[in-house]
Structure 1
Amino acid sequence: MPPTPTAAPTSAPAPLTTAADTPKAATPATPPTAPTPLTAPAKTPELATQPTPPATPTPPPTPTVSPALDAPDRDRLLHGTHHAPHSVLGAHPVPGGIAFRAFRPFALGVTVVAGQLKAELHNDGDGFFSGLLPLQGVPEYQLLVAYDGAVQEVEDAYRFLPALGDLDLHLIGEGRHEELWQALGARTMTHQGVTGTRFTVWAPDAQGVRLAGTFNFWDGTGAPLRSLGGTGVWELFMPGVGEGELYKFEITRPDGSKTMRADPMARRTEVPPATSSIVHASHYEWNDAEWLAQRAELPAHKAPLSIYELHLASWRPGLTYRQLAEQLPAYVKDLGFTHVEMMPVAEHPYGGSWGYQVTGFYAPTARLGTPDDFKFLVDALHQAGIGVLMDWVPAHFPRDDWALAEFDGRPLYEHEDPLRAAHPDWGTLEFDFGRREVRNFLVANAVYWCEEFHIDGLRVDAVASMLYLDYSREPGQWTPNEHGGRENLDAVAFLQEMNATVYRRVPGVVTIAEESTAWDGVTRATHHIGPGGFGGLGFGLKWNMGWMHDSLDYMAHDPVHRRHHHGEMTFSMVYAYSENYVLPISHDEVVHGKGSLVSKMPGDWWQQRANLRAYLAFMWAHPGKQLLFMGQEFAQGAEWSETNGPDWWLLDPSYSAEADHRGVRDLVRDLNTVYRHTPALWQLDTDPSGFQWITGDAAEDNVFAFLRYDTDGSPLLAVSNLSPVVRHDYRLGTPEDIPAWHETLNTDTARYGGSDITNPDPLKPEPQPWHGRPTSIRVTLPPLATVWLRPA
């Protein structure tokens, strides 16, 4: 006969035994919802009559301990400051058996169920329950938790080992986890044979972290996370929690105060202004394998690339991602653009920021649908043969008190120096690019969009604000770097790492910098050291802000004054090959009182449209890729508003001036068509051998003429007459061995809304030298127009 357990001290709950320890005749029937508390068995008369064999002495009773939590652990759990809740909650071997402890606020009772065993734990008060079972090992068990009017059978979250591996923790600690979204955030999984969700968050300064959500009525008291060593990562596997549940992290700051925070790694969020994170698992099946296989055939700077920039929420207001997928690919394909560029789609609380103040870096905005809905849109564009670029904002983030700002009570994602943290222009906070975990957060985010959503390229916003310590700051408001310079060395290292990582992991993507200064080597390889001593930043392309400002300034002048500003249109060729450029007419140029693109043009309505058409054809012929913001493709007259979107009614046949707008749209379609089928316009965009001036100094005539060449030497001649007069028999020098030229595009044709002054017959060179060339042709130049000529 086994020895009778010693009674527990009167100050602690009595140790519990299994049902098998008590004779069957003495075991009362136990309802499943109200198990009878099991106590230490006394000697029954039946057992007492069995004599102990005289040769076997009775061993001394095993000492028992109180299974109840001590006061310090209780206090830390109650106040949300416990770093290791799994070490005290759950089931643990102790002298005398296995101690079971549960922390279930508001519960009336908790019962351990392990196979046939049912044992009600002692109520220790404040939501704590404990008991000691004389078992040899920890069994697999569940808990029956009784509340007022309900009993729930649940898995005990504190019986599970960590669901995050040592390699993940090592890479996080090193700041080199390139798939960080697989390790942090909410991830549904089966762990130790049980389905649920693993919640992990980086909060190294927190005293404690608890999980609150719809699954626990937003009371995180009973759901503390454990700290996983020195990485600053907290983890909790919550069995039974699945997709669609809302959650936040309740963080106890170093000063003891508490803050409720959305998950920085959330892959889905509530629709703003609601701010909760949502447990998400993707079930989308892609159908764009053919697109992905061919997109890496040519690097972006050697391929045709014309970009239609749009704000998804206002392109046609009210459409969801899936509704956009029914309309946007067809529209963009009809116009001939090779790519769309979406203004930031990552979640943001304020719609008026257009997405440039991000709070959910890993979640597409819920305003238009779910993450899988967004994948459906990207897939539809790919199947239509259209690449997808998106604006990405790693420079800064807003100060919302439920998001990243002072996330765990101290500066974490932002720099600890207030002068380095505060962005002087936008009222936001700048990332601390020198902190390896922050750098990892952003680098992995760039990879995430490209790998998880099949994004073909990232246009990186506000790069200049990242590169300079004195950006928009006065003397005394910034501190030089270790070399005494103004360069932000941490930001340089981050951008180099981001570009190198993305290009290595995702073949065929392109990164594009919005960089408005003359920083050397934005599109140079990271291992090539430039004159300034820095390696290249590693971008594939850079927005040519200088060309944009100069050319728009020129076009804004009345033609009679343009001869005094001729150099504004030619200066770009002085530096055209210093970087790989995109020519951007973006949303920034048609908001905040700047007016639409057509409204920038001088003259009456006919002249404004003629100027616009001539400018667009000059732009498409100029070295560099093209970008045009939505609405400008049909000469929208009003500047863009995110609440209304483009004025589509201008294309309605019932509108009297509809033909005026349709003509510009038809020109854009033809520009893209000719562009894609003419390698001279894109093949040598970054090679000086692909461009030659015919005349760049005809200031008195307001005429610009240049040649573009492809790799086989086949030319295209582009001529712009930006004066409102017809120039008959205008002589232009031409290269030898071209028997005749024909007009392949003329922005003055009637179908575009022009005066229809054209060159219908082939133009044959004459043996008269001109512009330093042995032959020349005489061309009729329409007013305020651009003409493209190709060898006949």
Structure 2
Amino acid sequence: MLQLIEDDPWLAPYESDLNTRFNYFNEELARIENKYGSLINYAGRHHELGFHHDTSKKGWWYREWAPAAESLFLKGDFNDWNSESHPLKKKDGGIWEIFIPDKEGLKNFSQVKVQVKGANGTNDRIPAYTRYALQNPQTHDFTACVWQDKKKFPWTDKKFKLKEIKSPLIYECHPGMAQEIEGVGTFREFEENVLPRIKDLGYNCIQMMAVKEHPYYGSFGYHVSNYFAPSSRFGTPEDLKSLINKAHEMGMAVIMDMVHSHAVKNFAEGLNDFDGSGHQYFHEGGRGYHTGWDSKLFDYGKEEVSRFLLSNIRYWLEEFHFDGFRFDGVTSMLYHHHGEGVAFDHYDKYFKEGVDWDAIRYLQLANTLIHELKPEAISIAEDMSGMPGNCRPVSEGGVGFDYRLGMGIPDEWIKLLKHKKDEEWKMMEVWNVLSNRRQGEKTVAYAESHDQAMVGDKTLAFWLMDKEMYWHMRKDDKNLIIDRGIALHKMIRLITSSVGGEAYLNFIGNEFGHPEWIDFPREGNQWSYKYARRQWSLVDNPELKFEYLNNFDQAMVNLLKDNNVLSAQPAQLLNVDETNQVLIFERANLIFVFNFHPNHSVPDYEFWIPKAGKFQYLLNSDDPHFGGHNRIDSKTVVHTSFEKEGGDFLKIYCVNRTALVLKKM
């Protein structure tokens, strides 16, 4: 019996389905190993296809998979864009190839396209395995660039130990919007200006969005066109390597927002109908189109598609030293219905109704490959369905991810802030949302990510303080709305991180309550960058209250890290007081006290604790350094009192809208 079923008896009725899924994976892995020697070799297609310089023959090989194409011609600045002078020859398996001697002028950063003749006519296309593409600033068209790291980037990150990151504290970021200027930031600017901020806050992991080339900037990087190419709008491949190298030198892991769930439908820039067949990389007809995302859907059952995507994983891990991936849109991959309009209220929904077995097998292969190449790598699933076993090892019958995103948590905070008055919040409901997760499957907790910051929604800071943030964020300005917002902003983040999972995520700028939303340049806003940036000057201004939230985030992150809170056993509930809206729990031998009440501050508040002793305050959200009212002396040592019938109790001043963390001395 699979370990997954032994650990969850509710899965017993689905043993046949899980065994079938497990065998489907094992049979494919055995076939791959028998034919290619190993899964790693199988995922080496990028070493064969695309452009590769042959030093012995002094020239470039270019190879392309286009089984239905009638002819392919390479054209570019090296041959004055001649459409006939450099034809490719068709080989076995639908592979086309050509060799171009150095003397003909092809070199690193030469601009090229491949002319493909097929059933859909004759069209200029971007080679599928291109490693760099440039966008014309006038026409906005993309052109492929020949690129190979011939000089070998001087990596200096050998001392970085990924295995030392036991619990990821993730800073989600977008390189283009990381600058204050109203424009597109670069990898170099991010390295110089933003990495030190992240390091100073204490985060140990960066999650980078929009790394791969995408034609429409406003897609946030989720409509990928060129899977092996870092977006040229942020800089060169060497610039990205420099950023990752510097992050490693600072002790921070770097993971990529990996989009293998769909691809841009654009014909000119992407893979859509590359060879004219209509179904080369993607499913044929309606199954190959995601109506909600207006994008194309991969056919994971095809060998060349599987090799393309798995090689993509290997390429980013090896060539750029990424430390893992956050897989976007996993729910869409797992089911033919993509999770749209489906309530996952029964186990049948996970194993019997509309499940895409090819996609599950691909994800199992992907996670197997990731951990073969880099055993300590971080693999995260963005899955809102909650499929059992998604974050269990493949050997146990799972899909193999290390973590899943706790997507229900931010939704609950928004619902509370939007629909309920503060005094209506129920502590047990908050606790259940944060603590309810599958045993043995790790969760990345977060109060808000980029999703909650986009136009059409609001950040937590904006839900809490709204327009008051424009006028009352000076430290000498007393304002009740701002006071409430700052207090709850701190409490929401601390309780989310300390209860909600085994890892924590924050989106760039939200740690200091960045005002407003994110709105990328588009026709509807006159192509403005005003809201596609981060206003660091707000948190850097010592006269503004943003500094308070930044100070608290730094203290919170370091408390979680220094006390190994996220790698400890799940939080244990000690006290629920709905009258005073007090929630108390223990995790990692720390006592967390939250009083969410608008005005109930309770002197000599008494509650049971598991161990007697003297306790000191490690964190006090009411501290003036965090914008609090200084109602508690954080230097106070609290002693337990012994009660004959009930055990040991602590007695503290339980201040309203305040979070406290105590540790036994």
Q: Does 1:777 align with 2:650?
A: yes
Give the whole-Å Cα distance in 2 for the aligned partners of 1:172 and 1:254.
Answer: 36
Q: Does 1:621 align with 2:498?
A: yes
- Does the residue aligned with 1:296 lie in a helix, a strand or coil? helix
Match of 2:662?
Answer: 789
- Does the residue aligned with 1:636 lie in a helix, a strand or coil? coil
More helix by share: 2
Match of 1:13?
Answer: none
Are the counterparts in 2 of residues 550 and 569 from structure 1 also a CA contact under 8 Å? Answer: no
Give the whole-Å Cα distance in 2 for the aligned partners of 1:225 and 1:171.
Answer: 26
Match of 1:61?
Answer: none
**Equivalent of 1:411 in 258, 274, 278:** 278
Q: Does 1:455 align with 2:333?
A: no
Q: Write the letter of the residue equivalent to 1:212.
A: K
Q: CA deviation at 1:176?
A: 6.0
Give the whole-Å Cα distance in 2 for the aligned partners of 1:251 and 1:323.
Answer: 38
**Relative to 1, partners in 2 of residues 1:338 and 1:652: Cα closer, same or farther, differing over 3 Å?**
closer
Match of 1:160?
Answer: none
Give the whole-Å Cα distance in 2 for the aligned partners of 1:171 and 1:266.
Answer: 24
**Equivalent of 2:581 in 691, 702, 707:** 702
**Equivalent of 2:361 in 482, 493, 513:** 493
Give the whole-Å Cα distance in 1 for the aligned partners of 2:416 and 2:438.
Answer: 18
Match of 2:3?
Answer: none
Give the whole-Å Cα distance in 2 for the aligned partners of 1:246 and 1:430.
Answer: 29
Give the whole-Å Cα distance in 1 for the aligned partners of 2:237 and 2:662.
Answer: 47
Q: Write the letter of the residue equivalent to 1:749.
A: D
Are the counterparts in 2 of residues 188 and 243 from structure 1 also a CA contact under 8 Å? Answer: no
**Equivalent of 2:605 in 718, 721, 730:** 730
Q: Which runs of 5+ in 2 are unaligned?
A: 1-31, 343-347, 466-479, 521-528
- The TM-score normalised by the length of structure 2 is 0.84
Are the counterparts in 2 of residues 708 and 716 from structure 1 also a CA contact under 8 Å? Answer: yes
Q: For 1:679-722, what per-residue CA distance to the aligned partner results, in whole angstroms no more than 9, with x for missing partners?
A: 2x1222xx4xx431102x3222221111013xxxxx10111111
Q: Does 1:666 align with 2:570?
A: no
Q: CA deviation at 1:753?
A: 0.7
Q: Write the letter of the residue equivalent to 1:544.
A: G
- Does the residue aligned with 1:437 lie in a helix, a strand or coil? helix
Are the counterparts in 2 of residues 624 and 682 from structure 1 also a CA contact under 8 Å? Answer: yes
**Relative to 1, partners in 2 of residues 1:416 and 1:634: Cα closer, same or farther, differing over 3 Å?**
closer
Give the whole-Å Cα distance in 2 for the aligned partners of 1:624 and 1:600.
Answer: 26
Give the whole-Å Cα distance in 1 for the aligned partners of 2:644 and 2:135.
Answer: 68
**Equivalent of 1:289 in 141, 145, 158:** 158
Alignment of 1:407-556 (within 5 A): 407-471=274-338, 485-528=353-396, 535-556=397-418
Q: Write the letter of the residue equivalent to 1:266.
A: T
Q: Which entry has the higher C-alpha Rg, 1 or 2?
A: 1
**Relative to 1, partners in 2 of residues 1:484 and 1:175: Cα closer, same or farther, differing over 3 Å?**
farther
Are the counterparts in 2 of residues 424 and 472 from structure 1 also a CA contact under 8 Å? Answer: no
Give the whole-Å Cα distance in 1 for the aligned partners of 2:144 and 2:279.
Answer: 20
Are the counterparts in 2 of residues 598 and 636 from structure 1 also a CA contact under 8 Å? Answer: yes
Match of 1:232?
Answer: 94
**Equivalent of 1:653 in 533, 538, 541:** 541
Give the whole-Å Cα distance in 1 for the aligned partners of 2:633 and 2:389.
Answer: 43
Are the counterparts in 1 of residues 498 and 571 from structure 2 also a CA contact under 8 Å? Answer: no
**Equivalent of 2:46 in 177, 181, 189:** 181
Alignment of 1:114-129 (within 5 A): none
Q: CA deviation at 1:499?
A: 0.4
Are the counterparts in 1 of residues 408 and 433 from structure 2 also a CA contact under 8 Å? Answer: no
Q: For 1:144-183, what per-residue CA distance to the aligned partner results, in whole angstroms no more than 9, with x for missing partners?
A: xxxxxxxxxxxxxxxxxxxxxxx99x75999963122111
**Equivalent of 1:263 in 115, 119, 127:** 127
Q: Write the letter of the residue equivalent to 1:570.
A: N
Give aligned-pair identity as a percent.
25
Give the whole-Å Cα distance in 2 for the aligned partners of 1:181 and 1:501.
Answer: 15
Q: CA deviation at 1:628?
A: 0.6
- Does the residue aligned with 2:81 lie in a helix, a strand or coil? coil
Q: CA deviation at 1:474?
A: 7.8
Q: Write the letter of the residue equivalent to 1:180.
A: R
Match of 2:86?
Answer: 223
Alignment of 1:103-114 (within 5 A): none
Q: For 1:572-600, what per-residue CA distance to the aligned partner results, in whole angstroms no more than 9, with x for missing partners?
A: 32325352100132100111221122122
Are the counterparts in 2 of residues 304 and 682 from structure 1 also a CA contact under 8 Å? Answer: yes
- Does the residue aligned with 1:553 lie in a helix, a strand or coil? helix
Are the counterparts in 2 of residues 590 and 596 from structure 1 also a CA contact under 8 Å? Answer: yes
Are the counterparts in 2 of residues 337 and 672 from structure 1 also a CA contact under 8 Å? Answer: yes
**Relative to 1, partners in 2 of residues 1:615 and 1:189: Cα closer, same or farther, differing over 3 Å?**
same
**Relative to 1, partners in 2 of residues 1:707 and 1:576: Cα closer, same or farther, differing over 3 Å?**
farther
Q: CA deviation at 1:624?
A: 2.4
**Relative to 1, partners in 2 of residues 1:270 and 1:239: Cα closer, same or farther, differing over 3 Å?**
same
Match of 1:691?
Answer: 571
Give the whole-Å Cα distance in 1 for the aligned partners of 2:367 and 2:124.
Answer: 34
**Equivalent of 2:117 in 232, 235, 252:** 252
Give the whole-Å Cα distance in 1 for the aligned partners of 2:617 and 2:246.
Answer: 36
Q: For 1:179-226, what per-residue CA distance to the aligned partner results, in whole angstroms no more than 9, with x for missing partners?
A: 22111111122243xx22111111011111111111111122121101
**Relative to 1, partners in 2 of residues 1:669 and 1:175: Cα closer, same or farther, differing over 3 Å?**
closer
Q: CA deviation at 1:472?
A: 5.4
Give the whole-Å Cα distance in 2 for the aligned partners of 1:769 and 1:406.
Answer: 77
Match of 1:310?
Answer: 173
Give the whole-Å Cα distance in 2 for the aligned partners of 1:570 and 1:692.
Answer: 12
Are the counterparts in 2 of residues 596 and 640 from structure 1 also a CA contact under 8 Å? Answer: no
Q: Write the letter of the residue equivalent to 2:370.
A: V
Aligned residue-pair number: 586
**Equivalent of 1:682 in 566, 573, 578:** 566
Give the whole-Å Cα distance in 2 for the aligned partners of 1:551 and 1:270.
Answer: 41
Give the whole-Å Cα distance in 2 for the aligned partners of 1:675 and 1:576.
Answer: 22
Q: Which runs of 5+ in 1 are unaligned?
A: 1-166, 529-534, 710-714
Give the whole-Å Cα distance in 1 for the aligned partners of 2:502 and 2:633.
Answer: 27
- Does the residue aligned with 1:606 lie in a helix, a strand or coil? helix
- Does the residue aligned with 1:188 lie in a helix, a strand or coil? strand
Q: For 1:53-93, what per-residue CA distance to the aligned partner results, in whole angstroms no more than 9, with x for missing partners?
A: xxxxxxxxxxxxxxxxxxxxxxxxxxxxxxxxxxxxxxxxx
Q: Does 1:363 align with 2:229?
A: yes
Give the whole-Å Cα distance in 2 for the aligned partners of 1:604 and 1:586.
Answer: 23
Q: CA deviation at 1:287?
A: 0.5
- The TM-score normalised by the length of structure 1 is 0.71
Give the whole-Å Cα distance in 2 for the aligned partners of 1:176 and 1:449.
Answer: 15
Q: CA deviation at 1:774?
A: 1.0
Are the counterparts in 2 of residues 554 and 569 from structure 1 also a CA contact under 8 Å? Answer: no
Q: For 1:481-514, what per-residue CA distance to the aligned partner results, in whole angstroms no more than 9, with x for missing partners?
A: 9x96310111000000000011111232111111
Q: Write the letter of the residue equivalent to 2:585.
A: F
Q: Does 1:764 align with 2:639?
A: yes
Are the counterparts in 1 of residues 191 and 243 from structure 2 also a CA contact under 8 Å? Answer: yes
Match of 1:634?
Answer: 512
Alignment of 1:368-407 (within 5 A): 368-402=234-268, 403-407=270-274
Are the counterparts in 2 of residues 246 and 277 from structure 1 also a CA contact under 8 Å? Answer: yes
Q: Write the letter of the residue equivalent to 1:401.
A: F
Are the counterparts in 2 of residues 175 and 436 from structure 1 also a CA contact under 8 Å? Answer: no
